[in-house]
Structures are given as structure tokens and as C-alpha cells.
């Protein structure tokens, strides 16, 4: 039975992971398959594993990056630091959680941003935003996280982004707003204030240029989509699954 790799999340119609990994398998002559499993509740992961005992690696995407943690046997230090899991290694029945979003966002940042960035605002407070926080901390960049319901001192309401005296250089969308098939959606901020001094990053990669990025680019901002992060986190996941690190 060939090795099976899985993507768990909801929705998954936007995802390129299956195409990415299956192309990789074909190009490298690897006898394996990657499938999407769209589930309605994280408890359904158990049924997926029972029905497919040949699963040896799993990617976790929204909205399950945090709710999956109680189902795991252990957490790697990367997942412990972030408090979210996007990669699972299945080993002798154990489920070991990792976070490769840190590696993915680091790749996106290092490959695309050459100027010094003093401050950033992260739009959204889910699992992906926690990985971004970790990277910004490692780079000594001041940041705040915008949330509809701020709960900590590092979080602010969306309405405060432009009104509290902040001068954020980078604006990072870590919400699903604008993702296929709802491409007309944008994060709830006043986009008219975006200008050529800003770097706008959208973790969404489908569509390749969200409405949010289109607006930013049209107003002179540097606009970067999420494809470099997808590739970076996927390559790190593959190394984890195959004991290459």
C-alpha cells in the first residue's frame, strides 16, 4: 500500500497543497499520494485515520490548527512556541504536532523584503497569526495583532489601526477574507490609508492577487501574496515526514 499524505481542513476548495505534493511525487519518482479530507469537526480526524491506515503525514489548515492539539500524542518545540499545529507526523500510531508556518513565513519575509521594517500589524488572531508573531519577535519587529475581540495587550481592534498613533510599516493579512471563492472580501480596515510607504502581505495564495493586494498595489504599496509561505512550509513538512532534519 502506497504512503498517503493528507490535508485536513474546511473549506479546502482553494487549496493547492494536493497539486503541489502530487506534482512533487511524480517529478521525484515517489510512490505516494496526497489527498484532501474536508471535515466538519476536528473529531472526524480519528475516522479519517481509521479508514486510511497508510497515512503517514498530515497538513492541518483552518480552522483546526489549534483545536487539533488535544488529539495529538506530543508537540514539537515549534508547535509549543506558537500554540498551533499545521503539520502532523504519524509514527507508530503516535501523532506528533509541528508548526512549519514559522519556516514558511520566514522564507516569504527573507526572500521578498530587503528594507528595514520597524513595525507591523497582523490582521487576524488565528493559528497563522501566531506563527507570524513568532517570526516578528525573532526579528525584533514591533507588532500588534488586530482582532474583532482583543483579549491581550498585544491585540487591538481593527478600528484602532489608524487612530491610536501607530505607524505600521507592514500590514499582514492572516485572515481568510478574500480567499477563493469569496474573492470580493477584504479585511475590515480603511484601505484608503494604504500608500507607497507600506508593505502589504496577504497569506492567501488563491487568488494569486486578492482584492486587498490589488488595492494596496494600486496605491503604491509593495504587495506580496502567500505562495512563498505555502512553498516554504510545505518543504519543511516534507523534511519532517521523511526524517530529513
- What residues act catalytically? 65
| Strands of 119-123's sheet in order across | 155-156, 142-146, 119-123, 170-173, 199-202, 222-224
Query: Considering just the CA atoms, what is the radius of gyration of the chain in Å?
Result: 18
CA–CA separation, 197 vs 182, rounded Å?
28
What are the angstrom distances between the C-alpha of 14 and each of 45, 64, 127, 156, 193?
A: 20, 16, 18, 29, 29
Q: Which residues contact 140 (CB under 8 A, 6 or more apart)?
A: none
CB proximity list for 182: less than 8 A, separation 6 or greater: none
Look up residue 153 and give its three cell numbers: 495587550
Q: 72-80 — which CB contacts under 8 Å span 24+ positions?
A: 72/96, 72/97, 78/102
6: DSSP letter = E
Amino acid at each position: 500500500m502506497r504512503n498517503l499524505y493528507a490535508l485536513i481542513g474546511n473549506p479546502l476548495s482553494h487549496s493547492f497543497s494536493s497539486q503541489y505534493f502530487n506534482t512533487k511525487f511524480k517529478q521525484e519518482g515517489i510512490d505516494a499520494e496526497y489527498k484532501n479530507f474536508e471535515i466538519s469537526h476536528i473529531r472526524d480526524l480519528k475516522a479519517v485515520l481509521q479508514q486510511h491506515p497508510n497515512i503517514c503525514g498530515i497538513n492541518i489548515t483552518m480552522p483546526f490548527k489549534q483545536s487539533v492539539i488535544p488529539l495529538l500524542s506530543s508537540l514539537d518545540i515549534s508547535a509549543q512556541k506558537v500554540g498551533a499545529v499545521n503539520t502532523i507526523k504519524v509514527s507508530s500510531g503516535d501523532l506528533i504536532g509541528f508548526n512549519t508556518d514559522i519556516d514558511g513565513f520566514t522564507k516569504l519575509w527573507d526572500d521578498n523584503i530587503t528594507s528595514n521594517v520597524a513595525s507591523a500589524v497582523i490582521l487576524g488572531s488565528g493559528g497563522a497569526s501566531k506563527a507570524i508573531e513568532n517570526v516578528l519577535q525573532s526579528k525584533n519587529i514591533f507588532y500588534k495583532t488586530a482582532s474583532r475581540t482583543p483579549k491581550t495587550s498585544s491585540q487591538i481592534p481593527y478600528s484602532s489601526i489608524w487612530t491610536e498613533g501607530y505607524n505600521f510599516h507592514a500590514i499582514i493579512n492572516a485572515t481568510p477574507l478574500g480567499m477563493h471563492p469569496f474573492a470580493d472580501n477584504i479585511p475590515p480596515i480603511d484601505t484608503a490609508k494604504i500608500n507607497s510607504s507600506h508593505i502589504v502581505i496577504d497569506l492567501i495564495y488563491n487568488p494569486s492577487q486578492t482584492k486587498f493586494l490589488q488595492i494596496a498595489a494600486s496605491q503604491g504599496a509593495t504587495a506580496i501574496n502567500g505562495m512563498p509561505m505555502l512553498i516554504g512550509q510545505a518543504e519543511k513538512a516534507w523534511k519532517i515526514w521523511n526524517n530529513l532534519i
